[in-house]
Amino acid sequence: LFSTNSSYAACATTGLNWYDIASATITAISPNSFMNCTALKAVCECEKYAAGKWDAIPYVDCSAVYNEEAGEVTVFVVNRNMKESVTLDLGLEGFTVESVLEHKIVNHDDMKATNSVESQTVTARDGNAKADSVELEPHSYNMIRLKVK
């Protein structure tokens, strides 16, 4: 359970806990990157919003996988909030984080921006996650790859 100035969120997981979620980001990966991983159960509770016939859509959603052979946990987080960033404090139960191997962010100021063969306007870029926290930009998707033991 945790809280921030702008939002409340808590995630209960098997092998993974999240703290202080205030924003989220979007990340893209190669479909072959996580073939030998174990999915970790990650359940996020956070502020919700209504849209259309749905009245309880969480602003933040997350998932995670563990690659035992590589000694890595990869976390995927989406922030659906169109205006606010969120600080996500990571706490992984059962793991000791040694370092952040990679943090990728996908988002664009124009929500209708698209890619084509001629123009790649929406691309993944490097983020600056720390071993214990990450700032998630508005309407973004993040991939955070952590070296663990």
Nearest in space to 28 (alpha carbons), one of 145, 137, 124? 124
For 1-56, how does the pLDDT look when each residue is reduced to its tens digit (9 = 90+)? 222 223 223 333 333 333 333 333 323 344 445 568 898 878 676 789 999 999 99
pLDDT at 81: 94
End-to-end CA distance of the chain: 25
Give the per-residue pLDDT at 9: 31
- How far apart CA 68 and CA 114 sit, in angstroms, is 36
**Cα within 13 Å of Cα(61), Cβ side:** 12
- The string of pLDDT tens digits covering residues 82-141 is 999 988 878 788 899 999 999 999 999 998 999 999 999 999 999 999 998 889 999 999
Check residue 34 and give its pLDDT.
Answer: 57
Q: Which residues lie below 8 Å from residue 124, measured CB to CB, with a gap of 6+?
A: 27, 28, 104, 105, 106
